[in-house]
Structure 1
Amino acid sequence: MKKPLFIVHKHRATHLHYDLRLEIGGVLASWAVPKGPSLDPGIKRLAIQVEDHDLAYADFEGVIEEGGYGAGPVLVWDRGWFEPSPRHGETGSAAEMLHEGVLDVRFHGRRLNGRFSLVRMKGRQGQWLLIKQEDDAARPGSDITVEQQQSVLTNRSIEELAEEAAAGTLATLAVGSRLNE
């Protein structure tokens, strides 16, 4: 059985941010996380729900040209698969949990592992909180976005992508492969 993907794109458009994408219902449900994910359970990160993306976008790494929506360099900061992780006694698919406004998942990625929750904020259209849950993968006091900055696909930095694009030497990567470990 195919395991659903999760991707985190590091994206420098107007401002540097991270895009969390979860494969739900045949698309990548997506949230912009301005400060990036955290492994510290004491830190809640704002996650703004944005438009769904096609699955083909999962492994996009390159530069969105000027004039295009979200223009700027994009790299694959993390990737892996996830499983819905309903709370005690609850059942449900990721799609059902998303609809209800509390999506509990277990990530199996190269950088993000363990249990996380996405919780829709009441009265705030499209605004959610991304929260790392207490488990063996939690790292209080750490900042994974500072510790790990390169692409998990090419080991390039966002600055290197931008420099290669400016020099006309960027070979845009669109692997299109699936992770089914």
Structure 2
Amino acid sequence: MADKLEQYRGKRDPSKTPEPVPGEAPEPGGDDTFVIQEHHARSLHWDLRLERDGVLASWAIPKGLPEDPATNHLAVRTEDHPMEYLTFEGEIPRGEYGGGTMTVWDRGAYETEKWSDREVKVVLRGERAQGRYVLFQTRGKNWMIHRMDPPLRDPLPELVPMLPVRRAKPPRNAGEYAFEFAWGGRRTPALIEGGRTSVPLLRPLAGRFGSRTAVLDGEIVTLAGEEEVYIAYDLLYDDGRSLVAEPYRKRRVALEALEIAGARWQTAPAWPGAPEAVGRAAREQGLPGVVAKRLDSPYEHGESKAWIFVPTGA
């Protein structure tokens, strides 16, 4: 019988990589265990591995598992991996095959509905990955992965910004609002999905999000004549759950939990019930004004009286 791990061993030097490189040919097992690893290699991707005939049949999925049956994702068939890879995490040295950081994203049991050379149907029963999927070969060596059952997550919201109304003075009931700086930047809602985003400035941040899907609202601003910085001040979607119907105070807590802080991206500061102090600070920094946001308001598309812009000259 051919050694299913011959190709795997040929690509790895056990003296240079911490990966398991067993010397013996694999023995058949239960064919009921899977692992998904998040792999920060030359490009971020996820590796799906299904136990089959004593090895882990493997596919690299650049965008992760599809959440919606309407969208298929590319799945690149790679060499079979040893069973020891079910628990492997570590740093593969740069310059070695697959160099980069690998962590276990999910692990669990699976059931096989069909397995052929061109099509694999399985039911995944992990903590994070659950559902019916089919992997199918297209032209050449390319494969795709398709979710067969309904999505378990909320649909993504429309990227239509909420806009403030203009007023000469802050609201009288200041305790019902949080006050933020009006930055005067370029409004830029941002979808982060599968470690990627269409906003170039945020691409390094998106990679750190891993498989987490999020929709941010914010602006790209130039602070003190330096480099552009993304200022995030709202969160519309987080890890499968739409937040647009949630009050601002809850969206704000979820946004702060993401800990968006770095040289090129920041979480906008907000101060409940402090219009005078925030307005004074905005004037001192030469900002165009202050935005008062009702603590109990949902995220509404277009102009809303729940957000009030007060210019610094008022």
TM class by shorter chain equals 0.5 to 0.7
| Map of 2:75 onto structure 1 | 47
Which structure has the larger Rg over C-alpha atoms?
Answer: 2
Deviation at 1:58, TM superposition (A): 1.3
- After superposition, residues 96-135 of structure 1 pair within 5 angstroms as 97-99=115-117, 101-121=118-138, 123-125=139-141, 127-135=142-150
Q: Equivalents in 1 of 2:120, 2:152: separation in Å? A: 18
Residue 129 of structure 2 aligns with an amino acid whose one-letter code is: L
| Map of 1:162 onto structure 2 | none
Is 1:40–1:140's contact at 8 Å kept on the other side of the alignment? no
Is 2:92–2:98's contact at 8 Å kept on the other side of the alignment? yes
TM-score (norm 1): 0.68
Q: Equivalents in 1 of 2:49, 2:127: separation in Å? A: 15
| Count of residues paired in the alignment | 134
Question: Is residue 35 of structure 2 the alignment partner of residue 17 of structure 1?
Answer: no
TM-score (norm 2): 0.40
| Map of 1:146 onto structure 2 | 212
Superposed CA offset, 1:62-107 (max 9, x none):
1111222111100101111110124xxxxxxxxxx232x1111110
| Map of 1:78 onto structure 2 | 106
Question: Is residue 89 of structure 2 the alignment partner of residue 61 of structure 1?
Answer: yes
Pick which of 65-74 and 16-25 moved more.
65-74
Residue 126 of structure 2 aligns with an amino acid whose one-letter code is: G
| Structure 1 vs Structure 2 CA RMSD | 2.1
Q: Equivalents in 2 of 1:141, 1:22: separation in Å? A: 28
Superposed CA offset, 1:21-77 (max 9, x none):
000111000001011112211110000000000000111111111222111100101
Structure 2 vs 1, CA of residues 102 and 140 (structure 1 numbering), >3 Å: closer, same or farther? farther
Is 1:10–1:17's contact at 8 Å kept on the other side of the alignment? yes
| Map of 2:34 onto structure 1 | 6
Question: Which consecutive residues of structure 1, in runs of 5 or more, have no partner in the other structure?
Answer: 87-96, 149-181
Q: Which contiguous aligned blocks of 4+ residues in structure 1 show a shift greater than 6 angstroms? A: none
Structure 2 vs 1, CA of residues 140 and 10 (structure 1 numbering), >3 Å: closer, same or farther? same
